Chains A and B, each alone.
Chain A
Amino acid sequence: MESTLYIEPSLTTPEIRFQLENCHFSIKGSSYPENSLKFYQPVVQYLSELVQNYPVDPSKTFILDVELQYFNTSTAKVLLDIFRYFEQLHEKGQPVKVRWLYLEDDTEMEDAGLDYQAAVKLPFELVALHEEA
């Protein structure tokens, strides 16, 4: 499998930067594509292969950073699918951590993070950012 997945951001889709070599994965921007399932298909494919092929290495921690301004409900559903793949890695013994990044006064985004935190079984941290990047 490819070790790196990069998708450039657009006005309606986030930047996807998955880098296996440094164990860092990030989804950043706005996400309201016309068809979220189609947009995230390469991400799902990447993670599916990662779950199947990656030999567990307890000395490394996979970090997934999610920092979104806006996301539609279909993205909300795909995000859960993405978290499920990290859940599978976690179950296999691979250390993983999801960081849900949001502006400190954005209670809507904080609530969304709390909902995901409750829905998944893996280390899931909410990180309040102090100013908009």
Chain B
Amino acid sequence: MNVSYEHRTLFRYEGPLDMQLLPQIVKSVEQLLIGEKVRTPLRRKIISALIELAQNIIHYSIPRHPHSNPSISLVREGDNIVLSASNPIHSSQELFLRTYIENLLSMNKEDLSALYQNVLTKSDYTDTGGAGLGILQVLAKADGFSYTIEALGDDHANFTVRASFVTLANA
């Protein structure tokens, strides 16, 4: 039996990321998704997730690492579009990230939505003027979510988030 499985990179960026570059990435990805015939609601979902993950990189990534650069990619995998964002972090951030994300992963969509509303309406802003809702929002909106934290061997680690979005009913 032959199984055909499409795996096609739609977009990939690797290197320093800042607020001058982000709107260009957003515009490029939007055009690519229109070209992929991804309808407006799903397109909005994917690009909103991209913005959150990219701004997390801009705010929280360590500035430079010899073996790891920030990266963002968008891959079509069969009926899914998979958004990945990766960046080097200090190893000291690992425990917080694991605890925070594992807690979110233990919740269902309704709990995530309730938590989002609760943080939105009752919590203060972060030191960077953020809402502290980026990963929660991505996890709540994506059809699939996973993450890895891989040690880089020098008190640093590579943090990668993968959010997948089903296009079947939307393409």
Q: Which residues of A contact B (CB under 8 A)?
A: 11-12, 32-38, 69-74, 76-77, 80, 103, 105-109, 115, 119
Could you count the A-B residue pairs with CB atoms below 8 Å apart for me: how many are there? 76
A115 and B117: CB pair below 8 A? yes
Q: Is B137 among interface residues, defined by CB-CB distance under 8 A?
A: yes
Q: Is B45 among interface residues, defined by CB-CB distance under 8 A?
A: yes
The residues of A that contact B48 with a CB separation of less than 8 Å are 70-72, 108
Known: A74-B129, A106-B41. A34 touches B55 (CB 8 A): yes
Known: A11-B23, A108-B41, A108-B44. A70 touches B51 (CB 8 A): yes
B121 and A106: CB pair below 8 A? no
B45 and A36: CB pair below 8 A? no
Q: Is B52 among interface residues, defined by CB-CB distance under 8 A?
A: yes
A77 and B41: CB pair below 8 A? no
The 8 A CB mask of B128-163 against A (1 = contact, 0 = none) is: 111111100100010000000000000000000000
Known: A32-B55, A34-B58. A73 touches B131 (CB 8 A): yes
Known: A11-B23, A72-B55, A73-B137. A107 touches B129 (CB 8 A): no
A41–B94 Cα gap in the complex (Å)?
A: 33
A107–B48 Cα gap in the complex (Å)?
A: 14
Chain A min CB distance to B66 (Å):
26
